[in-house]
Amino acid sequence: MMPGWMGTSSREKIPASAGDEELRMIPRWSMALAIVLFAGMQYVFHGVMPHYKHELLPLRLMMGYAWGSLVASYALLLGYVSRDVKRRGMSPGLWMLVCVVLPGGIGAVVYFMLRQPVLSRCPNCSTTITASYHYCPQCQFQMAPVCGECHRGVKITDVFCTRCGHDLAQDGAPARLRAYSD
Ligand SMILES: [Zn+2]
Ligand SMILES: [Zn+2]
């Protein structure tokens, strides 16, 4: 009998909230940079640019706010990318450069299109593995529910394999999952 995802060790690893997890990906320096850049844009729009007598103040406020938000979110994005590259085993220097050099967020778009899957560790032997693996390459630990017949990925609520029609109940999935089918 292989060790598997229904074991107790893997259940604790599920994060409480995916949103919190993603927020923690933004480092302090990029939050500070975002605030500084936002304040800087307000200064540029209200302190540096010349004031005209007949201009509209609300328009100036809005422009300052819009540009401030834009540069601030770019700083947060850079911070996110700087941490995201590491958990995907990609080159941080190269991708930070791509995001900074390509203008208007094109670098970030390229990054999100080309990024590798998140790396994680096997709960059993700590081998570095990607999220797409169904089994650990080193110790055969089962990372995700798969069909016992064709070994393709299945949803844990499935009763039969969508590829080969294998009865997944025969693979010994936990009884609580069977409850969905009744
Ligand atoms: Zn392993
Ligand atoms: Zn199958």
Residue-wise pLDDT tens digits, 98-157: 888 887 778 888 888 888 878 888 888 988 888 778 888 898 888 788 888 888 888 878
- Exposed / middle / buried, residue 111 (Cβ in 10 Å: 0-12, 13-18, 19+): buried
Phi-psi region of 2 (alpha: psi -120 to 50; beta: other; left: phi over 0): beta
- 170 Cα–ligand 2 center, Å: 12
Residue 175: band (very low, low, confident or very high) from pLDDT cuts 50, 70, 90: very low
- 137 Cα–ligand 2 center, Å: 20
- 133 Cα–ligand 1 center, Å: 11
What angle, 0 to 180 degrees and rounded to 10, lies between the N-to-C axes of helices 28-43 and 57-87? 160
Residue 145 has what pLDDT?
A: 82
Please tell me the number of the ligand nearest to residue 135's CA: 1
Does the predicted model carry a pTM greater than 0.95? Answer: no
Ligand 1 is an ion; its neighbours by CB within 5 Å are 122, 124-125, 127, 136, 138-139, 141
Name every residue whose Cβ is closer than 8 Å to that of residue 58 and which is 6 or more positions away in sequence: none
Please tell me the number of the ligand nearest to residue 160's CA: 2
